[in-house]
Amino acid sequence: MSIDIRPENRPPGVEGAGFFATSLDTVVGLARANSLWPLPFATSCCGSEFMATMASHYDLGRFGAERLSFSARQSDLLMVMGTISKKMGPVLRQVYEQMAEPKWVLCMGACASSGGIFDTYSVLQGIDRIIPVDVYIPGCPPRPEQVLDGILKIQELTKNESLRRRNSPEYKEMLASYGIE
Ligand code: SF4
């Protein structure tokens, strides 16, 4: 069986005899994008699709993100999947706050994104009411291919993010709008 291994495309930079120079932002972004440590916050059925994404057929490890973390302090990608009740909201927010910067949030499925079919008094109508979200994955449930697509979109964000973004007034203002310091 042949294995098709393709290296990451070389970032833009300056090349000469025996050297290649690029920006620090680019190198750090490349490293971050290919070594995401997801924290799966799965409460219901969407979590099963995530399990399929982790298994051998879809194999999230191909994207460097197979190292799941169940500790908020050792993860940089919060993946929220499933129905989030209003009672669960403060727990989710605490998990988000415990994660160190830089961190990203992937919101998977109709329930986490908008409450889905559960338009009831007890269900949070979208996690973006309590924490900022970077990428949404639509569907009920989304297929593993969609989860992989969401991860690729997170990778694009991480690759292209300036190292200064997290210290910018705009970022702090965005967090403040959620009541997060
Ligand atoms: S979006 Fe659909 S599959 Fe996902 S948790 Fe909600 S009901 Fe279940």
Full-model pTM: 0.92
State mean pLDDT over 90-101: 96
Write down the number of H helices and E strands in the chain: 6, 6
Q: Band of the pLDDT at 7, cuts 50, 70, 90?
A: confident
Higher pLDDT, 5 or 31: 31
Q: Is the dihedral of CA 15, 18, 22, 28 positive or negative?
A: positive
Ligand 1: centre distance to CA 70 (Å): 21
Q: How far is the CA of 93 from the centre of ligand 1 (A)?
A: 20
Domains of the chain: 40-177 (3.40.50.12280)
Q: Tell me the three state secondary structure of residue 112.
A: helix
Ligand 1, atom 4, residue with closest C-alpha: 46
For residue 83 and ligand 1, the question of a CB distance below 6 A is answered with yes
Q: What would the two tokens of residue 60 be?
A: 């999230």
> Which residue's entry shows tokens 């969407």?
46
Tokens of 135: 């990428």
Rounded mean pLDDT of 83-99? 97
